[in-house]
Amino acid sequence: MKSRLEHQPLLQEVKEIVSQCDRCGTCLTVCPLYGIKDIESSSARGKNNIARGILAGVVEADHEALKAINFCLLCRTCIDSCPNKVKTDDAMIAVRQFFADKNGSPGIKYQALGSLMKNRKLVKLSAGALQLMRGMRLNHLVPHGMAPREFTRKQYLAAFAGPAILGSIPGRSPLKRSLTGKVAYFKGCGMQMLFPDAVQESIRILSTASSVQLVNNGCCGLPQLAHGLRNDFLEMAKETIALFEQTDIIVSDCASCSGTLKHVAAYFAGDPAWRERAAVFSAKVMGISEYLFEVGYQPRNQSQALITFHEPCHLGRGQGIKNQPRELLKATGNFVEMAGANSCCGGAGSFHIDYPDVSKQILAKKQQNIEASHANLVVSECPTCLVQLNKAAANSGGKFKVMHISQVL
């Protein structure tokens, strides 16, 4: 039985992905959501086949189906072990878009979040942003504990600073090679709103390597893309592309931003007017640890803290940036790899707001691994992860602190 839906371009995109699923079941053994809620529809196989069922007219494209499709961390763990490398994350994003188009909107919640992130002025009122959300009656989006108390570099130095490396105070580092050209810093919304100290440290570090351009950029567009606001994403991406045309390298200290910006090219591949520009743009993007490793950056201080790294999904599996942050941290003198460092923390954009209970259980596993590593400090490169890890730190009764990688390097 074939349905009319098959001819929708978006669903064509979905079909190409999900028809690669052999329904083997490998993903059931790795999907963090199946690990918590062990029913078929949680897994990648379950969701890919719901998409297939919609295409075949066997599954009703209703609210229930959308709920199942929304229940995905977009963490790519399944893809890592899938024999056919079925891109479940891309398929879920496209199906969500299909629903948003069909319903005329992605739903009030995602619409509100999307508009907020799209509004540069709102985001820029960094310290006040959360207050503003409350003012806009969006406070149900920001449950208690989302705005963490940031552990600043100053506090870190007071607690853990070891001898300065090479006897220098923060200053120019000896570089192995300079990635010549103009470097711009891409200021992500989450970092700006929640971790202003880390933003300052990222800029400070980047300034040691080259003179950094600060650009008044907007949101990377992932919150919109992930929840059925593809047109907004494309519109914002065009703005961003134009904004960074004069720079040679674009560095982001948020894994979701760098991952999304690298992906921009793919979304314009079929658009002759933008294809070239988008490809050039995406090629310029680097994650901050990727960049620092590349230029041979030396951390400013030795650390007396035992440091472990939580690898964001969008950094490791999303961009293949795995050893760079670890090598940089090893240079601070005291690094330990924890078990399951690359497993999702349960943050996943707004997932932790939408499914607090599931998210909490995933985070509990992470917390166990952090505690078992005996690290005093867990470091990451993504604001959503940092929010989650801060919750874990609080739950552990202060057994460890949480910092952005820029703050310790």
Partner 1 sequence: MITEAVKKLIRDCVGPENVLESSIDRFGYSYDSSFIPMAKEHIPELVVLPSTTEEVAKVMAIAHQYAIPVTPRGTASGRTGGCIPVAGGLSLALTRMTKVLELDERNMMVTAEAGVRTIDIYHTCAQKGLFFPPDPASWKYSTIGGNIGENAGGMRAVKYGVTSNYVMGLEVVLADGTVLHTGGKAIKNVTGYNLTQLFTGSEGTLGIITKVLLRLIPMPKARNTLQLMFGSLDNACNTIHQMLMSGLVPAAAELMDKISLQAVARHRKLDISPDIEACVVLEIDGDTQADLLKQAERISAIAHSLQVIEVRIAQSAQEVDEIWAIRRGLSSAIGAMAPNRFGEDISVPRDAFPKAVRLIRDIGKKYHLTIAVYGHAGDGNIHPSILCDLSKEGEEEVVHRAVDEIFDAALSVGGTLSGEHGIGLTKRPYIAKALGHPGISTLKAVKQALDPKGILNPGKIWE
Indicate which single residue of 17, 66, 82, 116 sits in contact with ligand SF4 (rule: CB under 6 A): 82
Strands 301-303 and 161-164, how do they pair?
antiparallel
Q: Does 46 bind partner 1 (CB under 8 A)?
A: yes
For the CB of residue 314, give the shortest distance to ligand SF4 in the complex, in Å.
Answer: 11
Which helix (DSSP H) or strand (DSSP E) does residue 183 occupy?
A: strand 183-186
- For residue 175, give both structure tokens: 């570089």
The piece of 16-24, 215-223, 308-316, 329-337 that touches partner 1 (CB under 8 A) is 16-24
Instruction: Rule CB under 6 A: choose which of 84, 131, 246, 323 binds ligand SF4.
Output: 84
Which window, 51-59, 94-102, 166-174, 400-408, contacts partner 1 (CB under 8 A)? Answer: 51-59
| Residue 8 in the binding site for partner 1 (CB under 8 A) | no
Which tokens is 202 given?
Answer: 């990222």
Q: Which is nearer to partner 1, 28 or 243 (CB)?
A: 28
Residue 195 neighbours by CB under 8 Å, 6+ apart: 150, 383, 386, 404
For residue 88, how many C-alpha atoms fall within 13 Å in the half-sphere facing its CB? 35
Note whether 215 and 155 are within 8 A (CB).
Answer: no
Site for partner 1 in 81-140 (CB under 8 A): 83-84
Q: Which stretch binds partner 1 (CB under 8 A): 46-54, 113-121, 162-170, 368-376?
A: 46-54
Does residue 95 bind ligand SF4 (CB under 6 A)? no
Contact partners, residue 401, CB within 8 Å, separation at least 6: 151, 156, 159, 305, 376, 377, 378, 393
Report the DSSP pairing between strands 301-303 and 401-404.
unpaired
Q: Pick from ligand SF4, partner 1, none: which does 48 bind, CB < 5 to 8 A by kind?
A: ligand SF4
What is the distance between the alpha carbons of residues 157 and 168, in angstroms, rounded to a whole number? 15
Residue 356 binds to ligand SF4 (criterion: CB under 6 A): no
Q: By CB under 8 A, tell whether 53 contacts partner 1.
A: yes
CA distance 84 to 94: 19
77 near ligand SF4, rule: CB under 6 A: yes
CA 17 to each of CA 83, 84, 105, 316: distance values in angstroms, whole numbers, following the listed order: 13, 10, 24, 22
The overall longest dimension of the chain from CA atoms, in Å, is: 72
Burial of 177 (0-12, 13-18, 19+ CB in 10 A): exposed
1 sits near partner 1 (criterion: CB under 8 A)? yes
Cα→Cα distances 204→49, 87, 338, 384, 407, Å: 48, 37, 29, 22, 10
Gap between the Cα atoms of 345 and 23, Å rounded = 26
Asked if residue 376 binds partner 1 (CB under 8 A), the reply is: no
Window 35-54: residues binding ligand SF4 (CB under 6 A): 44-45, 47-48
Under the binding rule (CB under 8 A), the answer on residue 60 touching partner 1 is yes
Nearer to partner 1 by C-beta: 52 or 401? 52
Give the residue carrying structure tokens 């952090």: 370
What SS3 state is found at 154?
helix
Segment contacting ligand SF4 by CB under 6 A, of 80-88, 145-153, 207-215, 390-398:
80-88
Q: Which does 78 bind (CB under 5 to 8 A by kind): ligand SF4, partner 1, none?
A: ligand SF4
3-state helix, strand, coil in the chain (%, to 5): 55, 10, 35
Residue type, 54: I
Q: Which of 68, 123, 257, 341 binds partner 1 (CB under 8 A)?
A: 68
- Give 1 or 158: the residue with its C-beta nearer to partner 1: 1
- Asked if 21 interacts with ligand SF4 (CB under 6 A), we say yes
Residue 50 near which of ligand SF4, partner 1, none (CB within 5-8 Å, type-dependent): partner 1
- Report the number of secondary-structure helices (H) and strands (E) in the chain: 23, 9
Q: Does residue 33 interact with ligand SF4 by CB under 6 A?
A: yes
Using CB under 6 A as the binding rule, whether residue 163 contacts ligand SF4 is answered as no
State the minimum distance, in angstroms, from the CB of residue 244 to partner 1. Answer: 32
Q: Which stretch binds partner 1 (CB under 8 A): 54-62, 140-148, 258-266, 353-361?
A: 54-62
Q: Which residues sit at the interface with ligand SF4, rule CB under 6 A?
A: 21-27, 31-33, 44-45, 47-48, 72-78, 82, 84, 86, 88-89
Q: Which residues sit at the interface with partner 1, rule CB under 8 A?
A: 1, 19-20, 22-26, 28-29, 38-41, 46, 49-50, 52-53, 56, 58-60, 64-65, 67-68, 83-84
